[in-house]
Amino acid sequence: MHAVRHALLCSHPSPIPRAPFVFQCVLLPSTCCRQFSSRLRVRQQQQVQQKKEQQDEQQRQHEVREDEPATGTAPTSSGAEAVSPKTSSSRAPFYFEAGYALFAKRRSRPFPPPFLSVPSGSFSDPLSTHDRSRDRRPRVNGELIRGVTNGDDAVYASENFICANDGVGAWATREKGHAALWARLIIHFWALEAEKDGFGGDREPHPVAYLQRAYEQTKQATAEPNEWFGTTTASSALITYDHQNPPHPVVYATQLGDSQIMVLRPRNRQIIYKSKEQWHWFDCPRQLGTNSPDTPEKDAVMDRVEIEVDDIVLAMTDGVIDNLWDHEVVEICVESLSKFQKGGEAVLHGKDPGEMTYSDEMSFVAQEIAKAARVIATDPFAESPYMEKAIEEGLSIEGGKMDDISVVAAQCKRRKG
């Protein structure tokens, strides 16, 4: 038996080779497993909490108080949206003191990448953008996008240039539709083109040419790397002077679509200029963007308007002009100016009247206009300009028009010195 067993063992041609690597199993104590699981849960909870804080911050930035419209003033020379020193027309004898008021019928959608960096799922992600995702301000071509979004509208206010664009909300129902992005980008590039030209400087400005270049740059920005669709109306007012001795202020009002530029003279309650709405048909204005045949060169209208110091220039989307008649806008402007100058608004906000500025005054004027427009917009039995236009078209429509309401109010001032 031993001889047979020895023969079988010796029948193998060579011994079985040993593997170069082996598993070494170590049984961890239960306390170590619990500590590891605890640390993992804590890390996951921290990531969830961070995302929640970012979402809450984004909601706070876009949320509009229900009792009154959101307001703001034109940026100062130190702001991110200010005129660059190289192109600033700071020597111009006249400028705007501007403010705005906004009411959105629904909250603005976040801008898509690459205009906004979305928070990554993990700090260890090799493509993590967590270092940029805490900054919720959108960018294009490495620059902050100028202006403010309001629903599908966008507005811009500076000491030389104001603008109100109305994005067509129907794009929200389309795949890759983003009218607010188009409205905001048009404003951004339009303001940049005006600045590059020094707002005309010693020459006559060309706002329509600025808008044409802005339109082309917006098409390019929304085509690559991801395509985004949308259309928007456009309206702006650029302040300069006539280069006479003494100089007089001049406004170049530009419009495409159904937003509006209006110039008021408060001292005699007079409208000295109002741009005309442009329509293809009822409730379908001329617009710039995807599939639209309209272009600035072909369809935009520009008017040169001579104004006076303390005249008020309004840039408004159709959320205002579809709900308020012209005489109502004039009355609201005059009454709000009187109320502000008496210090009532300063007391209301707990400020000393001496601390309030001209921009605060214009912000208050814009706020009063937006509040009045909202009252009509939410009243299903009110009489409104929109109802009147619909009846003229043979349509049975009653009440105001619920829409995004955007107002920029700017007062012409003479620069000291």
One pLDDT digit (tens) per residue for the chain, 417 residues: 444 344 433 444 445 555 555 555 555 455 555 555 556 666 666 666 666 665 555 554 444 444 567 777 775 433 334 333 334 445 789 999 999 999 999 888 888 888 876 655 555 555 555 555 566 788 898 899 999 999 999 999 999 999 999 999 899 889 899 999 999 999 999 999 999 988 877 788 999 999 999 999 999 999 988 899 999 999 999 999 998 889 999 999 999 999 999 999 999 999 999 999 999 999 999 999 999 999 999 999 999 999 999 999 999 999 999 999 999 999 999 999 999 988 755 544 556 666 667 789 999 999 999 999 999 999 999 999 999 999 999 998 999 999 999 999 999 999 986
Burial (CB count <10 Å: 0-12, 13-18, 19+), residue 345:
buried
Distance of CA 285 to the CA centre of its chain: 20
DSSP 333-346: HHHHHHHHHTTHHH
Res 300: pLDDT: 97
Other Cβ atoms within 10 Å of 293 Cβ, number: 9
Q: How many residues does the chain have?
A: 417
The answer to whether the beta carbons of residues 182 and 222 sit under 8 Å apart is yes
What is the pLDDT, as a whole number, of residue 121?
Answer: 57
Cα distance between the two ends of the chain: 122
pTM above 0.75?
Answer: yes
Sequence spans of domains, the chain: 68-78+91-117+136-414
User: pLDDT at position 358, please?
Assistant: 74
Compute CA 287 distance to the chain's CA centroid, rounded to the nearest angstrom. Answer: 17
pLDDT in the model for residue 227: 93
What helix, strand, coil percent values describe the chain, rounded to 5?
A: 35, 20, 40
pLDDT of residue 85: 36
* pLDDT of res. 284: 94
Strands 161-166, 153-157: pairing is antiparallel
Supply the pLDDT for residue 416. 86
Task: Please give the pLDDT value at position 226.
Answer: 85
CATH T-level topology, domain 68-78+91-117+136-414: Phosphatase 2c; domain 1 (3.60.40)
pLDDT, position 344: 56
